[in-house]
């Protein structure tokens, strides 16, 4: 079998009964959390410190925030994991452990260590459209999403633009 270029399949997944663990609580983690909130059953964020946005979501009961450093045991009951720390070694450990445990993982700082990407999302009346460029051309993804939005509804459609923020730092 010949090798294929990495190309992401647009698979829509039911996360309503799933626990998503986000390790890290800065800007990137905040974007990931906001994208996941309408879809995931439980979002748990853990980090020694958190952005005001994460703390606000926790106060509102939208997420569970654990003020702690990462440990592998935290992964055991997670269905999906986002590694969004500013520590390369921690992100690498999360990736390696998730691979061993069979947990889908996204390392925000390394698109080559992602089992899934966060798409640009349009939602309207129960229809969810996801746009993804397999991590290659974020501007093109945003352009196509914006054109689609204008064709469908002008500027009245809710937009979640995670794909355009899925850049490596």
pLDDT digits (tens, 9 = 90+) for 77-112: 999 999 999 999 999 999 999 999 999 999 999 988
Q: State the residue range of the domain holding 126.
A: 120-165
Does residue 90 share a domain with residue 49? yes
More confident residue, 124 or 88: 88
Claim to verify: residue 106 and residue 46 sit in the same structural domain: yes
Same domain membership, residue 30 and residue 76: yes
Structure confidence at residue 29 (pLDDT): 96
Report the predicted TM-score, pTM, of the whole model to 2 decimal places. 0.82
- Output b/e per residue, 80-101; b: 16+ Cβ within 10 A: bbbbbbeeeeebebbbebbeee
Q: Does one domain contain both 53 and 102?
A: yes
**CB-based burial label for 165 (10 Å; 0-12, 13-18, 19+):** middle
Q: Are strands 127-131 and 120-124 parallel, antiparallel or unpaired?
A: antiparallel
Q: Does any domain span residue 45? A: yes
Q: What is the DSSP letter of 74?
A: G
Nearest to 108 by CA among 130, 81, 127, 129: 81
CA dist., res. 112 & res. 156, Å (int): 35
Whether 132 is covered by a domain: the verdict is: yes
Average pLDDT over residues 70-82: 97
Q: Are residues 129 and 101 in the same domain?
A: no
Q: What percent of the chain has pLDDT over 70?
A: 85
Could you give the number of structural domains in the chain? 2
* pLDDT tens-digit map of 138-164: 788 888 888 888 888 765 545 455 544
């Amino acid at each position: 079998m010949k090798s294929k270029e990495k190309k992401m399949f647009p698979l829509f997944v039911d996360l309503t009964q799933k626990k998503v663990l986000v390790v890290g609580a800065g800007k990137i983690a905040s974007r990931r959390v906001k994208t996941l909130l309408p879809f995931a059953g439980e979002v748990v964020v853990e980090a020694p410190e958190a952005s005001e946005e994460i703390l606000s979501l926790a106060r509102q009961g939208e997420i569970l925030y654990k003020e702690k450093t990462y440990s592998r045991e935290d992964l055991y009951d997670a269905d999906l994991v986002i590694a969004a720390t500013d520590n390369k070694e921690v992100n690498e450990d999360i990736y390696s452990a998730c691979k061993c445990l069979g947990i889908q993982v996204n390392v925000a700082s390394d698109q080559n260590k992602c089992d899934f990407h966060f798409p640009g999302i349009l939602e309207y009346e129960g229809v969810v459209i996801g746009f993804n460029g397999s991590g290659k051309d974020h501007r093109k993804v945003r352009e196509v999403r914006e054109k689609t939005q204008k064709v469908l509804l002008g500027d009245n459609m809710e937009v979640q633009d995670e794909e355009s923020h899925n850049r490596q730092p």
